[in-house]
Amino acid sequence: MQIHAIHIDHFLSFDTFAWEGLDPHLNVIVGPNGSGKTNLFHALRAVRDALSPERAQATARWTDAGHQGTDADAITISLDIQFTTAWEQGLLCTFLATVLCDQQVIQQTITTATNRNLDSNSLRRFAAWVQEQLHPKDIFWLFSGRLVVTHVGREGWQCQYEARPGKPLVRLDLTSGGTLVGHAEHNPQTSTQNWGTLFAAWRNSLTEREREQLDNGLTGASPEGEFPVPNLSRLPDWVSSQQGVALQIEDQMRIVDPTTLATRRALTMATQVSPGLQESFGMRFIFRHLLDQALVFTDNVRLQPQRTFIARDLLTQPLDLSNGKELARFLFCKKNRNPRDRKQYTAIWKLFDRMTGREFDVVLDPANSGESQPRLTASFQQGGSQPEQQPDISSPRRSF
């Protein structure tokens, strides 16, 4: 995630503050004591706290944070952000795929429309189809926008994300689970047709022939037939500007075990959290998860970097950089993944060399190359050369 701009109103030492055009790689904050350097990071913490599941604690923490005695309810903090990494975009895509395959919603929608029941095997096929066909490029409209948090009375923080800057806005209300509001003209005649769900909004966008294909496939009338391609690139155009759709996972009605659905398994793998363990697993949780990975606050805590890893975990994502423990693995992943990551590794290496006059490298320890648990070795020397490129280990065919 990249932060392109920060706007703060009535927070701690800031009355009105705007920082635009942040460098995507490195920004250095310099100023005398009391100029607001620390409070800028407090503002970023407040944004993260605003999405915290412990809302009461998050609200109490910033009760007296109004600028020079200003009512705290006047606080507004906004970040212009862009989700740039493959993991971030993949997580958002996987979450929407999982919401689209919510079996409770599908059962209610199909039963109402056809008076037929959902077929369990067909539901599993549908989830596998959605997981295969839905790609991050289909939700490009979600990857750039403004995250805004506002302190509102005893209710604490209200959060929303405004996507597609410069175009008709798509608004995500993140105060509770997460509701998407588009810009389609509100139609009272269709508002009673379960338009409050992602599946129903997508189904209503299909042609009559595609809806018949979908209904027959899900009810088992066409047990081997294909489903319509779930292209969500025009989702903002389908969703009412007044009613919106809820982006959260319910699955209180379990026709099949959710863990047998391809979309649910993919989401669990991406977040390392089972949705079944959450009281409310919605887009709010996903944004919180994204911010936890993107905003790292060290609190002056430093741990020795971990050096020994299980082979299958060496390149896994995401990484936790809050205390330095996974720093070696972070650099190793940057060095040995895709060309974009390798370019970032080279930029980090050159910056370190320029600032310290020294070089570093992160490689597999040759002495332990035959062991089942590879060991990373970090080395330092005087600067002057270019980083050597380790052979590519990102291919799944390579073993340690």
Three-state SS across 3-40?
EEEEEEEEECCEEEEEEECCCCCCCCCCCCCCCCHHHH
Assess if residue 110 is contained within a domain: yes
Q: Based on the domain organization, do 94 and 204 belong to the same domain?
A: yes
Assess if residue 398 is contained within a domain: no
Q: Based on the domain organization, do 73 and 104 belong to the same domain?
A: no
Which stretch of DSSP H or E encloses residue 44? helix 37-50
Assess if residue 388 is contained within a domain: no
Q: Based on the domain organization, do 122 and 235 belong to the same domain?
A: yes
Q: Based on the domain organization, do 214 and 254 belong to the same domain?
A: yes
pLDDT of residue 367 exceeding 60: no
Q: Based on the domain organization, do 112 and 233 belong to the same domain?
A: yes
- Give the N- to C-terminal CA distance of the chain in Å, as an integer: 31
Q: Based on the domain organization, do 106 and 47 belong to the same domain?
A: no
Q: What is the mean pLDDT of residues 292-317?
A: 73
395, 330 Cβ separation under 8 angstroms = no
Going from the C-alpha of 21 to that of each of 15, 18, 41, the distances in angstroms are 20, 10, 17
* Number of folded domains that form the chain: 3
Q: Based on the domain organization, do 105 and 202 belong to the same domain?
A: yes
User: So what's the pLDDT on residue 52?
Assistant: 77
Separation CA 345–CA 334 (nearest Å):
5
Separation CA 56–CA 76 (nearest Å):
18
* Residue of 364 and 278 predicted with greater confidence: 364
Q: What is the mean pLDDT of residues 289-303?
A: 74
pLDDT of residue 11 exceeding 70: yes
User: So what's the pLDDT on residue 393?
Assistant: 40
Number of C-beta neighbours around residue 355 at 10 A:
9
Q: Which of 2-6, 98-102, 119-123, 249-253 has the lowest mean pLDDT?
A: 249-253
> Phi and psi for 27 in degrees, rounded to 5?
-130, 130
181, 170 Cβ separation under 8 angstroms = yes
Q: What confidence tier does 388 reach under pLDDT thresholds 50, 70, 90?
A: low
Percent of the chain with pLDDT over 90: 25
Where is the domain boundary, 82, 97, 118?
82
Chain centroid, CA 273 distance in Å: 13
User: So what's the pLDDT on residue 357?
Assistant: 85
Token output for 34? 């009391």
Q: What is the mean pLDDT of residues 258-274?
A: 84
pLDDT of residue 190 exceeding 60: no
User: So what's the pLDDT on residue 33?
Assistant: 85
Q: Based on the domain organization, do 133 and 201 belong to the same domain?
A: yes
Q: Based on the domain organization, do 244 and 138 belong to the same domain?
A: yes
Q: Where are the beta strands (DSSP E) in the chain?
A: 2-11, 14-20, 76-82, 144-152, 156-163, 170-173, 179-181, 245-246, 248-249, 281-282, 358-364, 376-382
Q: What is the mean pLDDT of residues 141-153?
A: 89
Where is the domain boundary, 67, 82, 97?
82
Q: What is the mean pLDDT of residues 222-233?
A: 84
pLDDT of residue 290 exceeding 80: yes
Q: What is the mean pLDDT of residues 195-211?
A: 87
Assess if residue 157 is contained within a domain: no
Q: Based on the domain organization, do 15 and 109 belong to the same domain?
A: no
When mean pLDDT is compared over 54-58, 215-219, 381-385, the highest value belongs to 215-219
Assess if residue 333 is contained within a domain: yes
User: So what's the pLDDT on residue 67?
Assistant: 60
User: So what's the pLDDT on residue 396?
Assistant: 34
Q: Based on the domain organization, do 106 and 236 belong to the same domain?
A: yes
pLDDT of residue 188 exceeding 60: no
Assess if residue 151 is contained within a domain: no
Q: Based on the domain organization, do 67 and 119 belong to the same domain?
A: no
Q: What mean pLDDT, rounded, does the chain reach?
A: 79
SS3 track for 60-105: HHCCCCEHHHCCHHHCEEEEEEECCCHHHHHHHHHHHHHHHCCHHH
> Phi and psi for 242 in degrees, rounded to 5?
-115, -40
Assess if residue 207 is contained within a domain: yes
Q: What confidence tier does 218 reach under pLDDT thresholds 50, 70, 90?
A: very high
Where is the domain boundary, 29, 47, 82?
82
Domain that holds residue 316: 311-382
